[in-house]
């Protein structure tokens, strides 16, 4: 794939992270802002709240998007740095392959964690 496409996705993932991390920060750490928005919850970081969010399809989508964009954004940045340090064609190919494998493994692991939370929340 052309570098411009990967770079454009890097920019897009950065913008998406600002939104998704903003949602995460407000929900988890800024109850005052939540109350301005009319969402009053006693203990947003308590087990019941976390499990309920884990069981919700909407939150699961947010978690998966957050996982995918954060992984892509971070690994793309790491790949660019490594390409600058190890610039031989063989090293370039090895770094690309390693980044894809690490990205896929962590993404699948994250997906499993997200979907395991659904029955947990459903049972509570």
Give me the helix-helix angle, 57-85 and 47-55, nearest 10°.
90
Q: Which two tokens stand for residue 50?
A: 């976390």
Cα first-last separation, the chain: 45
Q: Which residue lies nearer to another protein by CB, 42 or 84? A: 84
One of 80, 98, 110, 111 touching another protein (CB under 8 A): 80
Asked if residue 90 binds another protein (CB under 8 A), the reply is no
Asked if residue 3 binds another protein (CB under 8 A), the reply is yes
The 3-state DSSP class for residue 113 equals helix
d(CA 8, CA 112): 28
Contacts (CB under 8 A) with another protein, residues 17-46: none
DSSP secondary structure, 62-83, as one string: HHHHHHHHHHHHHHHHHHHHHH
One of 37, 85, 90, 123 touching another protein (CB under 8 A): 85
Q: Which residue lies nearer to another protein by CB, 61 or 81? A: 81
Asked if residue 4 binds another protein (CB under 8 A), the reply is yes
- Positions that interact with another protein (CB under 8 A): 2-4, 7-8, 80, 83-85, 87, 92
């Amino acid at each position: 794939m052309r570098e411009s496409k990967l770079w454009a996705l890097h920019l897009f993932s950065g913008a998406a992270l600002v939104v998704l991390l903003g949602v995460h920060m407000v929900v988890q750490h800024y109850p005052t802002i939540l109350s301005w928005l009319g969402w009053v919850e006693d203990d947003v970081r308590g087990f019941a709240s976390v499990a309920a969010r884990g069981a919700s399809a909407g939150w699961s989508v947010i978690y998966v998007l957050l996982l995918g964009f954060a992984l892509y954004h971070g690994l793309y940045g790491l790949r660019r740095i490594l390409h600058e340090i190890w610039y031989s064609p063989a090293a370039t190919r090895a770094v690309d392959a390693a980044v894809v494998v690490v990205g896929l493994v962590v993404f699948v692991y994250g997906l499993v964690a997200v979907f395991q939370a659904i029955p947990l929340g459903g049972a509570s």
